[in-house]
A and B are shown apart, each in its own frame.
Chain A
Amino acid sequence: MKRNRELEIYIHIPFCVKKCAYCDFLSGPANSDRMESYVEALIREIYAHQEIGKESLVTTIFFGGGTPSILEPRQFERISVALRDVFKIKSTAEITIEANPGTVTSEKLVAYRNCGVNRISFGLQSAENEELELLGRIHTFEEFLESFRLAKDGGVININVDLISAIPKQTVKSWERTLTKVLELEPAHISAYSLIVEDGTPFAKQYGSGCPGEKDLPDEEVEREIYRRTKELLEGAGYRRYEISNYAKEGKECQHNLGYWERKQYLGLGLGAASLIDNTRYHNTVNLNDYIEHAEQLEIIQEDVQVLSKIEQMEEFIFLGLRKMEGISELEFEKQFGNTIETIYGNQLTRFLQEGLLERVNGNIRLTERGIDVSNYVFAEFL
């Protein structure tokens, strides 16, 4: 790797006060001993990355989970110190921490600020308390408000609010209420995901296909309406949709997430964290005991190492890049791969342009409104 190559860092904190009923991310119950050994292991892993640390300039850091805000201020500080010891971090770097309303205290906020955190992402999911309860969240909307104000008063300008639509029993009206309440707070960024009932979660047993609760999931007409209203309300309030599920005020797009879609290099630290370095993808072990035991032995914890072929790189360029509303640059494709996109994917392009799922705008190819609705269908054809 070249000197001072840009690098994003993702840090995984796999603990939660309580796991939500729909969640299939890698996380488990918090236990102070466990957490302490994990933080120690994480720091060992960070120090093991000296080599890559010397060569790179870190542009974004993202603490994700789990619930990163579950960490004690001291623990968070120790991780941050280790990061700054090993990596050169750009002065304007975007540093995000995900926080669960109800786990944030002013003491923690001070620690975040001292460590350079300039962006907080709150997992609100819904402003309706019945919906929060149904999702198995540990907080109410009122508790979120308190955390949000604490953060704002503490000087964090760049705040994201995560929302989930298509919650069982949700209506267009209740979703509109959630959006309106959130818009009143004027966060810089809003992510609006649509619930996916994942196998193996408690939700799957309750709302999965064939289960009695399946009928409580909003039908597709409602879901469509929710999609439409989200765009309408958020754009009306001055947010720009820049990715399938993400809206931001001008200049407040999440640089870290954009990096994923633009195939920037990123290093994942911690349990199960995924990395893309020099066109090689891998992830750390998902076994907590193994991780804690071997964190500094990188070759032991890194799994599923996959060197991407040129074809795979091209495929990723398309199916990741198309998630951005601006789409992909034809010129950039040619620059990176030495062929025009037309020569490689001519058939698919012709077909989707004809079917009105893709469009060409200013040298970019992007999804149309209809294309966004069926984006997986479009992406799959490029594999």
Chain B
Amino acid sequence: MAGIDQKKIRNFCIIAHIDHGKSTLADRIIEKTGLLTSREMQAQVLDNMELERERGITIKAQTVRIVYKAKDGEEYIFNLIDTPGHVDFNYEVSRSLAACDGAILVVDAAQGVEAQTLANVYLALDHDLDVMPVINKIDLPSADPDRVIEEIEDVIGIEATDAPRISAKIGLNIEDVLEQVVEKIPAPVGDVDAPLQALIFDSVYDSYKGVIVFCRIKEGSVKKGTNIKMMATGATAEVVEVGYFGAGQFIPCEELSAGMVGYITASLKNVKDTRVGDTITNADEPCEKPLPGYKKVQPMVYCGMYPADGAKYQDLRDALEKLQLNDAALHFEPETSIALGFGFRCGFLGLLHLEIIQERLEREYNLDLVTTAPGVVYKVHKTNGEVIELTNPSNLPEPTEIDYMEEPMVKAEIMVTSEFIGAIMDLCQERRGIYQGMEYIEETRAVLRYHLPLNEIIYDFFDALKSRSRGYASFDYEMLGYEKSELVKLDILINREEVDALSFIVFAGSAYERGRKMCEKLKDEIPRHLFEIPIQAAVGSKIIARETVKAMRKDVLAKCYGGDISRKRKLLEKQKEGKKRMRQIGNVEIPQKAFMSVLKLDEKK
């Protein structure tokens, strides 16, 4: 593998707004370059997690190396680095971009430029990537490529006149894209003889090989036997194997040198040692300084996860540990709840990340989970000068010990057609947004800029946005930092007993409203018992809302006919099964999903 001419390498990624066809184009490129025949291809090779395919989003970065024979008669090596497609994974995206020299920007010929299109382009330009636009879905009846090209030039300010007009779905004009990759994406530059400097953009755990580090070699070279050092974590190891990415498999090679993208294995046992964004260098001949942009990823959203069956605590721990092997952003530590018993407080990059972990635990590890309401990390400034980072509402100090509290804020950009501007401004207002400005990007569309508290958007902001704009608004955000805020802990009492797992932190001005909705929701979720059950919301010792679950009056199966006892038994068994999925608190049985109620407070009944 040594001796590949850097001029024949193209390292690039594809960026797009969700649903504009990023993964489909990736598939076509792989197919066109003959790495796999279309028969061998399962749709969307790069999204290879079952969940990813279901949700149509990329969660983990995927990389593939393909060989393209261009019209000039030369063979080029393409390293296509697929980036995660969700704001939860912004940092991962930025590291993947840093591993590239250029980006294909896919824009839907009907939808045009959207919020994530802009956000992604800015991110790409920040990393000095050459952005090459492609107009996709031109086979759609509503496609208007000329308008979209104009939009790209006006709004983004990049040349788009000769952008390939393609349909990834039906495989139209994919050749043009490949040719332009050769022409427009710059070849890597880097000194093969310089000390090793490689950027980690991902890593996965393999039970045979240990940690497999995905990296882009910026300078120098690495091969089997090289002693490497991670510059941020300080971990060192001897390289066992280097190689590149086939379609769904690792192909070992002699050496990786400047300009190349590939993997390294080095008997590393923990992905925590190989953080995304860190720089790998040669321990014996280190480079002067690490590549810029490294950040330690911090969880933004926390929630409690408990096994539905207390006996499965150890299984849950094992499963979390296994997931963490592949996911350095996942945090967890044991905690105990009076209501739910032993479990873990888990930290995630965002709500999507949370949902993914939750689903994987349930599907891949067959665990039945009770999850508490997710919350953000608050900073509590105590009167004694101590500052604590609050991830579990139950740990909030006594009010007398609190000087003030801070909550995380985000900078949000919302792109919306003009008829919905009012509705979206109302929404942002309701969510305590602070208006920062608005720009029209064309006659009928504008970008709204807001500062919003993170805890107002982690739950259902995206859904609300979509429903209030009939699906037309798009949204992107980035972290802004902490701001002082009036926050209180809202407690829920069921049958006069406080249920710790239902407590949450809320903006003081919204406490009454949230408390009332929470009680209403729980009233619907908690089945009737033989006795009446009061449900109360309280701030401190003050009750601010109350609902009552009436006592069960009647539960009779009157009709039983023709000796069909099996059917009657099934009905009773179903009833019994329902009870198994409940948590006993005092003498009240609470369904597991009630603990997620706070997430659904804005659902229309």
Partner-B contacts on A (CB < 8 A): 10, 12, 25, 64, 193-194, 196, 220, 223-224, 227, 244-245, 260, 266, 268, 273-276, 281, 283, 304, 306, 315-316, 319-320, 323, 355, 357, 372-377, 379-381, 383
**Which single residue of chain A is at the shortest CB-CB distance from B529?**
A377
CA distance A99 to B142 in the complex (A): 63
Determine if B554 and A374 form an interchain contact, defined as CB atoms under 8 angstroms apart: yes
B55 within 8 A of A: no
Interface string of B323-364 (1 = CB under 8 A from A): 000000000000000000000000000000000000000000
Determine if B563 and A380 form an interchain contact, defined as CB atoms under 8 angstroms apart: no
Determine if B558 and A376 form an interchain contact, defined as CB atoms under 8 angstroms apart: no
CA distance A374 to B561 in the complex (A): 19
Q: Which residues of B contact A380 (CB under 8 A)?
A: 572-573, 575-576, 579
Given A376-B572, A379-B572, A380-B575, answer yes or no on A224-B561 (Cβ-Cβ < 8 Å): no
CA distance A374 to B555 in the complex (A): 4
CA distance A365 to B556 in the complex (A): 18
Determine if A273 and B565 form an interchain contact, defined as CB atoms under 8 angstroms apart: no
CA distance A223 to B562 in the complex (A): 25
B553 within 8 A of A: yes
Q: How far is the CB of B560 from chain A (nearest CB, A)?
A: 7
Pick from A316, A374, A376, A377: contact of B565, CB below 8 A: A316
CA distance A196 to B557 in the complex (A): 8
B564 within 8 A of A: yes
CA distance A64 to B552 in the complex (A): 34
Q: Which residues of B contact A381 (CB under 8 A)?
A: 576
Determine if B563 and A383 form an interchain contact, defined as CB atoms under 8 angstroms apart: no
Determine if B552 and A374 form an interchain contact, defined as CB atoms under 8 angstroms apart: yes
Q: Which of B533-566 contact A (CB under 8 A)?
A: 552-566
Given A374-B552, A380-B579, answer yes or no on A194-B566 (Cβ-Cβ < 8 Å): no
B530 within 8 A of A: yes
Given A379-B572, A380-B572, answer yes or no on A276-B555 (Cβ-Cβ < 8 Å): no
Q: How far is the CB of A270 from chain B (nearest CB, A)?
A: 10
B289 within 8 A of A: no
Given A283-B564, A306-B566, answer yes or no on A245-B572 (Cβ-Cβ < 8 Å): no
A-B contact pairs, 30 of them (CB 8 A): A10-B562, A25-B561, A25-B562, A64-B561, A193-B559, A194-B556, A196-B558, A223-B554, A224-B553, A266-B563, A268-B562, A273-B562, A274-B563, A276-B563, A281-B566, A306-B566, A319-B572, A372-B556, A373-B553, A373-B555, A374-B556, A375-B555, A376-B556, A376-B571, A379-B572, A380-B573, A380-B576, A381-B576, A383-B572, A383-B573
B71 within 8 A of A: no
CA distance A12 to B564 in the complex (A): 12
Pick from B556, B566, B579: contact of A375, CB below 8 A: B556
Pick from A274, A323, A383: contact of B566, CB below 8 A: A274
Given A25-B562, A223-B553, A224-B553, 14 new contacts (CB under 8 A)? A10-B563, A227-B554, A244-B556, A274-B566, A319-B572, A373-B556, A374-B556, A375-B555, A376-B555, A376-B571, A376-B572, A379-B572, A380-B576, A383-B573
Determine if A274 and B558 form an interchain contact, defined as CB atoms under 8 angstroms apart: no
Interface string of B229-248 (1 = CB under 8 A from A): 00000000000000000000
Determine if A320 and B565 form an interchain contact, defined as CB atoms under 8 angstroms apart: yes
CA distance A195 to B70 in the complex (A): 74
Q: How far is the CB of B188 from chain A (nearest CB, A)?
A: 60
Q: How far is the CB of A224 from chain B (nearest CB, A)?
A: 6
CA distance A315 to B560 in the complex (A): 16
Q: How far is the CB of B587 from chain A (nearest CB, A)?
A: 11
Determine if A323 and B560 form an interchain contact, defined as CB atoms under 8 angstroms apart: yes
B470 within 8 A of A: no
Determine if A274 and B553 form an interchain contact, defined as CB atoms under 8 angstroms apart: no
Given A224-B553, A376-B556, A377-B555, answer yes or no on A276-B565 (Cβ-Cβ < 8 Å): yes
Q: Which residues of B contact A379 (CB under 8 A)?
A: 572
CA distance A15 to B16 in the complex (A): 61
Count residues of chain B with CB under 8 A from any CB of chain A: 24
Pick from A227, A260, A268: contact of B560, CB below 8 A: A260
Residue from the set A273, A320, A373, A380 with the largest chain B CB neighbour count within 10 Å: A380
CA distance A276 to B566 in the complex (A): 10
Q: Which residues of B contact A383 (CB under 8 A)?
A: 569, 572-573, 576
Pick from B555, B563, B572, B576: contact of A275, CB below 8 A: B563
**Which single residue of chain A is at the shortest CB-CB distance from B557?**
A376
What 3 pairs between A and B have smallest CB-CB spacing? A380-B575, A194-B558, A376-B555
Pick from B559, B565, B571, B576: contact of A274, CB below 8 A: B565
Q: Which residues of B contact A196 (CB under 8 A)?
A: 557-559
CA distance A281 to B553 in the complex (A): 33
Interface string of B566-587 (1 = CB under 8 A from A): 1011011101100100000000
Q: How far is the CB of B548 from chain A (nearest CB, A)?
A: 15
Q: Which residues of A contact B554 (CB under 8 A)?
A: 220, 223-224, 227, 373-374
Q: Which residues of A contact B572 (CB under 8 A)?
A: 319, 376, 379-380, 383
CA distance A245 to B557 in the complex (A): 9
Determine if A375 and B557 form an interchain contact, defined as CB atoms under 8 angstroms apart: yes
CA distance A223 to B555 in the complex (A): 11
CA distance A275 to B564 in the complex (A): 8
Determine if A355 and B559 form an interchain contact, defined as CB atoms under 8 angstroms apart: no
Q: Which residues of A contact B553 (CB under 8 A)?
A: 220, 223-224, 373-374
Q: Which residues of A contact B576 (CB under 8 A)?
A: 380-381, 383
**Which single residue of chain A is at the shortest CB-CB distance from B556?**
A375
Q: Which residues of B contact A274 (CB under 8 A)?
A: 562-566
CA distance A324 to B562 in the complex (A): 17
Q: How far is the CB of A302 from chain B (nearest CB, A)?
A: 13
CA distance A185 to B495 in the complex (A): 51
CA distance A193 to B561 in the complex (A): 11
**Which single residue of chain B is at the shortest CB-CB distance from A282?**
B566
Q: How far is the CB of A361 from chain B (nearest CB, A)?
A: 21
Q: How far is the CB of A45 from chain B (nearest CB, A)?
A: 16
Given A383-B572, A383-B573, answer yes or no on A377-B552 (Cβ-Cβ < 8 Å): yes
Q: How far is the CB of A319 from chain B (nearest CB, A)?
A: 6
CA distance A380 to B556 in the complex (A): 11
Residue from the set B530, B563, B564, B576 with the largest chain A CB neighbour count within 10 Å: B563
Q: Which residues of A contact B565 (CB under 8 A)?
A: 260, 274, 276, 281, 316, 320
Interface string of B430-451 (1 = CB under 8 A from A): 0000000000000000000000
Determine if B562 and A355 form an interchain contact, defined as CB atoms under 8 angstroms apart: no
Residue from the set B557, B562, B576 with the largest chain A CB neighbour count within 10 Å: B562
Q: Which residues of A contact B569 (CB under 8 A)?
A: 315-316, 319, 383
**Which single residue of chain A is at the shortest CB-CB distance from B553?**
A220
CA distance A274 to B560 in the complex (A): 12
Q: How far is the CB of B389 from chain A (nearest CB, A)?
A: 44
CA distance A133 to B427 in the complex (A): 49
Q: Which residues of B contact A12 (CB under 8 A)?
A: 562
Q: Which residues of A contact B555 (CB under 8 A)?
A: 373-377
Interface string of B378-401 (1 = CB under 8 A from A): 000000000000000000000000
CA distance A273 to B566 in the complex (A): 12
Q: Which residues of B contact A64 (CB under 8 A)?
A: 561-562
Q: Which residues of B contact A194 (CB under 8 A)?
A: 556, 558
CA distance A244 to B569 in the complex (A): 17
CA distance A373 to B554 in the complex (A): 5
Q: Which residues of A contact B552 (CB under 8 A)?
A: 374, 377
CA distance A381 to B131 in the complex (A): 66
Q: Which residues of A contact B564 (CB under 8 A)?
A: 274, 283
Given A374-B530, A380-B575, A380-B579, answer yes or no on A193-B558 (Cβ-Cβ < 8 Å): yes
